[in-house]
Structure 1
Amino acid sequence: MEPLKHECGVAMVRLLKPLEYYQQKYGTWMFGLNKLYLMMEKQHNRGQEGAGMACVNLDAVPGSEYMFRERAEGSNAITEIFANVQKQFRNVTPQQLADVDYAKRNLPFAGELYMGHLRYSTTGKSGLSYVHPFLRRNNWRAKNLCLCGNFNMTNIEEIFDKLVKQGQYPRIYSDSYITLEFMGHRLDREVERNFIEGQKKGLKDQDITRYIEDNIKISNVLKSTMADYDGGYVMCGLTGSGEMFSMRDPWGIRPAFWYKNDEFIVLASERPVLQTTFELECDDINELEPGCALIVKKNGESSIERILEPRGDAKCSFERIYFSRGSDRDIYKERKKLGEQLTSSILKAVNYDTEHTVFSFIPNTAEVAFYGMLGGFKRYINNQKIERIRNLDHKPSYEELEEILHQYVRSEKVAIKDIKLRTFITEGASRNDLAAHVYDVTYGSLVPYVDNLVIIDDSIVRGTTLKESILKILDRLHPKKIIIVSSSPQIRYPDYYGIDMPNLEEFCVFRATIELLKDHGMCQLLEDTYNKCKEEILKPKSEMRNCVCDIYKPFTVDEINKKIVEMLRPEGMNTPVELVYQSIEGLHTAIPNHKGDWYFTGNYPTPGGVRLVNMAFIRFYESVYQCER
């Protein structure tokens, strides 16, 4: 019930006609710019920390700008960057603004290539210098590179060392800047390769420049850059000479979708973004396959090229559970299925007393799973009605039928997110008191001491909001029992492919397991696991295993659940509380085509993920556990 940071979002537009075409057909040459804005707003859920955009003008003359970039921080960054662009048009007359030739010669962001990015930090670093896209400048158009992406790399130190070994001196140690420099270096080599080829053909001056720009092979750049990366990514880029590309990691961890017609080529992190923005049907849109790149040349020719061979089937299941918006056709069905599958477990928790059970959800992202849960209970109650009628040994009276048929699933809007805690309150007691009032309840929504209350969420991560706010506020309704339901399985392990949550001790499931080990006098297992992790990180990455899995083996899911409740129960609360989690089997049944489940199982798809989780346990043992002993 405390929000995870979403994955970042990307958006790309490549216009395939002259700007005059869009001015005539759509009434504005800003067709691409406007569509980029819509695509970014439709992905606002993927970035609350910053946003940026870039544009390339293919018809700019020497001495004028041809690559434009605008970036801003904060949750209103999308509005800010597009407002800043529009400000630059204020002193332009309507006639000039409608004049395509004038716009191409004089106005920023009048171009054919557009790229946008929405940022959630994957490293904890903040500031405008960390907001995508990143820009690498050069006096040769083909060597200019603008880069953005939805990614987190697990082996950036290896890439850094490779650059240093080549003789480079990266200015900043971050995966974004290092990737920009690494790819920029390979782009330089590709330009120089064409320069030499042009010389062999006897070309000079502008002729050799045109030859270079017409013969750039972005696939060469990507193959020589991305082969060594370990992580989840959708990497997007523009060059000053008009090349555009987007590449997906070979494990398929991060998502990307694209569409092409004779007017434009577009790409986004989520399929409904393209459907809504361009009025498309679901089946019109293509998914970018793992290890492949969508490449658009300067002349507008496009292709899907295999850059790396697939290295596994690890499409992120959490994209389906939480990160992506639920408006996608398939995601909507999957989230409903996740909720529906919990029916039997919830029935057991309420002792099959559906007559005295009220269902609700927190937060809004759990609403679709809530509908699925209600659907499961409606079917259960309807089956109960059918059985009762079938078992009658007489012709029922109207009153008897009415009593049977009027059984229904009781759902209410029980909890409401009322205020946002203001961070200027720093004093501990005051801050905690405010945090306890983030949510409010609908008084009278259930019968005190009689009704059970079932609250479904899409995930339970830290448990902080449960302890500090949710359970306290729900207890005011005096339910007979509170059942907190998670439509996802227990989150036991960090994600290293896109979320800024690298520490094991942040997870309530991990903390509860540590307490169980202490309770059962099994602390030796922690030391053994620590020593095994130290041994593992000395091995070649391909031979490492996730040793953290060992600490969970002694306990069942129910045992861990009970410990979580014990740890999160606010002082003075007497209402019984039970946790119900989705099973791993249920996850795979509901979401069969997205097998990336490392958050829940520890089965990291890449060696880098395995190495980092072992290192996370070492950090925990040395900096947290030993200090508590």
Structure 2
Amino acid sequence: MEQLKHECGVAMIRLLKPLDYYQNKYGTWMYGLNKLYLMMEKQHNRGQEGSGMACVKLDTLPGNEYMFREKAEGANAITEIFASVHKGFRDFSPAQMDDADFAKRKIPFAGELYMGHLRYSTTGKSGLKYVHPFLRRNNWKAKNLCLCGNFNMTNIDEIFDKITAQGQCPRVFSDSYIMLEWLGHRLDREVERNFVDAQKLGLHGVDITDYIDNNVKLGNVLKTAMPDFDGGYVVCGLTGSGEMFSMRDPWGIRPAFYYRDEEVVAVASERPVLQTTFDLGCGDIKELNPGEAIIVNKNGECRIKRILEQRGDNACSFERIYFSRGSDRDIYKERRKLGEQLMNPILKAVDNDVEHTVFSFIPNTAEVAYYGMLGSFKNYINESKIKAIENLEHTPTHDELVRIMSQYVRSEKVAWKDIKLRTFITEGKSRNDLASHVYDITYEVLRAGVDNLVVIDDSIVRGTTLRESIIKILDRLHPKKIVIVSSSPQIRYPDYYGIDMSRLEEFIAFRACIELLKERGMHSVIDETYRNCRKEIAKPKSEMRCCVKDIYKPFTVDELNAKMVEMLRPAGVATPIELVFQSIEGLHKAIPDHKGDWYFTGDFPTPGGMKLVNQAFINFVENVYQYEQKF
């Protein structure tokens, strides 16, 4: 499938013991720093446009830095930021580096709180200033805020208007910066509340500062800052006074996992990251519930606090299909199940001729679903063998048993991910030619003109890679028929909660639907849907429905599949091609606990998502459809 720019990754560690504890037990005070590096590398799949990290030292004296940050762009950003940190250690002698007390006082990034982030842009904005973490500075420790997250907000314009109405003037219009300013504003108010309380207690000077540092309640900050945000998010923060938090959206869209013991509290976007980093079992890791935050105060006291009431049960199913690492115990089982459930439609596509069919997959995320698909066909063949033997009316001869038992499922690694398209090639024809060579094949693994070829992928989004590369290279084997299987249903709708696919015209399923409407003279469906979308966005968001669903109603899945094949078929390829998609029912059967399926159904979990999908159709009609009709 096409590489999607999607979910960012977060990693946080709070050391609960003094640095010399880790020096004595693990041989280095860099225990937390090393664990952060491992957690970030284990989530490299979640962000290859940039990375950043931050560190907070506790109990520093005035005149000494206590918050540190490194950021870098590019696929090698993790290596770059940690190399930069270690480069700074060259200024100190081996004896100083082995002295945890000295490190605590003098060495940068020798602290108790660590934050890491991996970025995929969901807005199209690039540059180092957009790389997390973001830092808000102040001479009061408790007012310093470092923020990162895996989020995309659908109503950032409304939040922008709200905070500017209060007199703030954000420097940048983006959800990250605006969230930083809004949370920072609420943190300021919390600090000022404690300042007043300290004065009432008769405290003065440094005693007031100490009181504030020990009594800031981040739960208050989050409760007053987060109710108005609409979107999918895991927001993570550190304060200069030593507070740490991570909060999950109340719809449960974006994932967050945590682990705590007497030595550390750790947070990550994926469960296997914590398992591998700290050598844990699945049961040791907890998932943060929707609307909850894990908060660790300056003194290391950890608590789970409900910030917002749960508003939905919409954990992202695409996390399970594609985004998260397949090494997670449950994700592995779910992806296998997705593949297993496709046996019957595949049998129909190959006319039940398993004997003359070779099964394979598109590297690499579809591999687990492929094992599930293969397993179901192995069971099917075994059942066929049993029935064949049971139906014999005599004791089988050796040759008869050999004939029956020699039936097997033919599987091969047909496609190989070969090279990446170099982005400095910008000229259209050259770029397309290079794109066609992103994949290669294993030659002569099937009988030309005799064998069907079934290949499974995790999803079909835009169809570009299929048209420009995959179908062409599969056709070089000259199969009798090519069956391309998607372990997920047809992707019909955009996403607004963290994935870089926001325009309807990007999706091959949507384009196929529009083409069918035009071919059959059903322009009125497009016009009526457009008018309905205009009416919907004039309503309060909470009353909106997804009008875009209406354009799909005239057609069956098979009709859309046939049109997609027509649109995806490269010039010169005459081999019969068929698409097989997972059903919505099959999706929920395989992944019952992750009900967020708006990509496939149009059932957006938040009012902001519903508004944006209607606006997306308006944008399509006004900017694409009407222009095409003129010419």
- What is the TM-score normalised by the length of structure 1? 1.00
Structure 2 CA distance for aligned equivalents of residues 248 and 402 of structure 1: 58
**2:113 paired residue number:** 113
**2:225 paired residue number:** 225
**2:47 paired residue number:** 47
- Superposed, 1:134-145 pairs within 5 Å as 134-145=134-145
**2:338 paired residue number:** 338
* SS of corresponding position for 1:177: helix
**1:206 paired residue number:** 206
Structure 2 CA distance for aligned equivalents of residues 556 and 296 of structure 1: 52
- Superposed, 1:499-514 pairs within 5 Å as 499-514=499-514
* Aligned-partner residue type, residue 292 of structure 2: C
* Aligned-partner residue type, residue 429 of structure 2: A
- Superposed, 1:281-430 pairs within 5 Å as 281-430=281-430
**2:9 paired residue number:** 9
* SS of corresponding position for 2:305: strand
* Aligned-partner residue type, residue 84 of structure 1: S
- Superposed, 1:461-540 pairs within 5 Å as 461-540=461-540
**1:67 paired residue number:** 67
Cα deviation, residue 500, structure 1: 1.7
* SS of corresponding position for 2:471: helix
| Maintained 8 Å contact 1:9/1:269 | yes
* SS of corresponding position for 2:355: helix
**1:80 paired residue number:** 80
| Maintained 8 Å contact 1:251/1:291 | yes
* SS of corresponding position for 1:472: helix
Cα deviation, residue 459, structure 1: 0.4
* Aligned-partner residue type, residue 563 of structure 1: K
Cα deviation, residue 94, structure 1: 1.1
Structure 2 CA distance for aligned equivalents of residues 407 and 597 of structure 1: 39
Structure 2 CA distance for aligned equivalents of residues 199 and 586 of structure 1: 62
| Maintained 8 Å contact 1:6/1:45 | no
* Aligned-partner residue type, residue 532 of structure 2: K
Greater displacement, 592-601 / 54-63: 54-63
What CA deviation, in whole Å up to 9, does each residue of 1:467-498 have, x standing for no partner? 11111111110000000000000000001000
1:57 aligns with 2:69: no
What CA deviation, in whole Å up to 9, does each residue of 1:173-192 have, x standing for no partner? 00000000000000000000
| Maintained 8 Å contact 1:32/1:112 | yes
Structure 2 CA distance for aligned equivalents of residues 34 and 430 of structure 1: 43
**1:154 paired residue number:** 154
Structure 1 CA distance for aligned equivalents of residues 535 and 6 of structure 2: 33
* SS of corresponding position for 1:196: helix
Cα deviation, residue 429, structure 1: 1.4
1:440 aligns with 2:440: yes
* Aligned-partner residue type, residue 549 of structure 1: K
Cα deviation, residue 302, structure 1: 0.7
Structure 2 CA distance for aligned equivalents of residues 385 and 75 of structure 1: 50
- Superposed, 1:179-194 pairs within 5 Å as 179-194=179-194
* SS of corresponding position for 1:360: strand
**2:32 paired residue number:** 32
| Maintained 8 Å contact 2:6/2:121 | no
Structure 2 CA distance for aligned equivalents of residues 418 and 289 of structure 1: 40
**1:244 paired residue number:** 244
Cα deviation, residue 439, structure 1: 1.1
* SS of corresponding position for 1:88: helix
Structure 2 CA distance for aligned equivalents of residues 444 and 174 of structure 1: 52
Q: Which runs of 5+ in 1 are unaligned?
A: none
Q: Which runs of 5+ in 2 are unaligned?
A: none
Structure 1 CA distance for aligned equivalents of residues 560 and 508 of structure 2: 10
Structure 2 CA distance for aligned equivalents of residues 430 and 174 of structure 1: 35
Cα deviation, residue 161, structure 1: 0.3
* SS of corresponding position for 2:371: helix
Cα deviation, residue 363, structure 1: 2.2
- What is the TM-score normalised by the length of structure 2? 0.99
What CA deviation, in whole Å up to 9, does each residue of 1:254-287 have, x standing for no partner? 0000011000000100000000000000011100
Cα deviation, residue 91, structure 1: 2.8
* SS of corresponding position for 1:381: helix
* SS of corresponding position for 1:251: coil
Cα deviation, residue 413, structure 1: 0.8
Cα deviation, residue 90, structure 1: 1.4
1:590 aligns with 2:565: no
* Aligned-partner residue type, residue 324 of structure 2: S
| Maintained 8 Å contact 2:6/2:500 | no
Cα deviation, residue 105, structure 1: 1.8
Segments of 4+ moved more than 3 angstroms: none
1:449 aligns with 2:468: no
Structure 2 CA distance for aligned equivalents of residues 443 and 198 of structure 1: 77
What CA deviation, in whole Å up to 9, does each residue of 1:565-604 have, x standing for no partner? 0001011111000000000000000000000000000000
**1:196 paired residue number:** 196
**2:128 paired residue number:** 128
Structure 2 CA distance for aligned equivalents of residues 6 and 123 of structure 1: 10
* SS of corresponding position for 1:364: coil
| Maintained 8 Å contact 1:59/1:104 | no
Q: How many residues align?
A: 629
Structure 2 CA distance for aligned equivalents of residues 444 and 299 of structure 1: 66
**1:104 paired residue number:** 104
| Maintained 8 Å contact 2:6/2:122 | no
* SS of corresponding position for 2:117: strand
Cα deviation, residue 430, structure 1: 1.4
* SS of corresponding position for 1:354: coil
Structure 1 CA distance for aligned equivalents of residues 599 and 625 of structure 2: 22
Structure 1 CA distance for aligned equivalents of residues 417 and 369 of structure 2: 18
**2:173 paired residue number:** 173
Structure 2 CA distance for aligned equivalents of residues 436 and 312 of structure 1: 42
* SS of corresponding position for 2:360: strand
Structure 1 CA distance for aligned equivalents of residues 152 and 129 of structure 2: 17
Cα deviation, residue 6, structure 1: 2.9
**1:268 paired residue number:** 268
Structure 1 CA distance for aligned equivalents of residues 564 and 216 of structure 2: 57
* SS of corresponding position for 2:365: helix
1:21 aligns with 2:21: yes
**2:621 paired residue number:** 621
Cα deviation, residue 406, structure 1: 1.3
**2:576 paired residue number:** 576
